[in-house]
Copies of this chain bind each other. A is one copy, B any other.
């Protein structure tokens, strides 16, 4: 565990550091997703097989780690938006994006929080955010031109959509892991122009599940 690398270099490479950084991000993503942002850095470090100190060497503090995670996750959204750009129609693209974003958010307990913690200062993050915003503006604009989405929808409604779906997903995670689909559909129907409506997927929750969901929601 202390010896030189297999590649023959005695001094630890910059690559080691990067490897550790990725490892920590991956583990943190998993642990935060499973247990919420309340998980301790000690746990994450332990589960990654490194010392806490190492985590602090890579990330100034817990918030910085969350921020970094945010950027990682953000890439997924950008990727989804790019995919949506080339969809047969803007409406289909937008719907696919929203379903994808909701799904990405769903299995990720506490990641509304991660996506949220966005981190004020990161220039990169800002650029990403803006880029995504523009992609969505474009997508929505085209969909509106097609008449496949209501005219008063805005790109900034998308993060709110994710906030909403995230709240449901976090709450129902555990008793009804697919419940987010129902509410995604419900909101999507609200986004759609009149008359384009899908039946809600999945059955409604029973009382106990609702109770559980709301209990769990705070995270």
Contacts and interface: CB of A to CB of B under 8 A. Distances in A.
Contacts of A153: 200, 204
A124 to B, nearest CB: 14
Contacts of A155: 204
A24 to B, nearest CB: 20
A37 interface: yes
Interface string A18-34: 00000000000000000
Nearest to A206: B156
Interface string A180-218: 001100111111001111011001111101110111111
A204 B172 CA distance: 28
A174 to B, nearest CB: 14
Interface hub of A168, A207, A210 (most chain B Cβ within 10 A): A210
A133 interface: yes
A213 B157 contact: no
Given A163-B167, A164-B164, A186 B190 contact: yes
A116 interface: yes
B204 A156 contact: yes
A159 interface: yes
Contacts of A166: 167
Contact of A183 (B160, B168, B204): B160
B214 A159 contact: yes
Contacts of A115: 214
B117 A218 contact: yes
A118 interface: yes
A143 interface: no
Contact of A217 (B112, B197, B204): B112
B214 A163 contact: yes
Q: State the 3 A-B residue pairs at the shortest beta-carbon distance, nearest first.
A: A190-B190, A154-B204, A116-B214
19 contacts: A36-B218, A112-B217, A112-B218, A113-B217, A117-B214, A117-B215, A117-B218, A152-B199, A153-B200, A154-B203, A154-B205, A156-B207, A160-B182, A160-B205, A160-B213, A164-B183, A187-B187, A194-B194, A218-B219
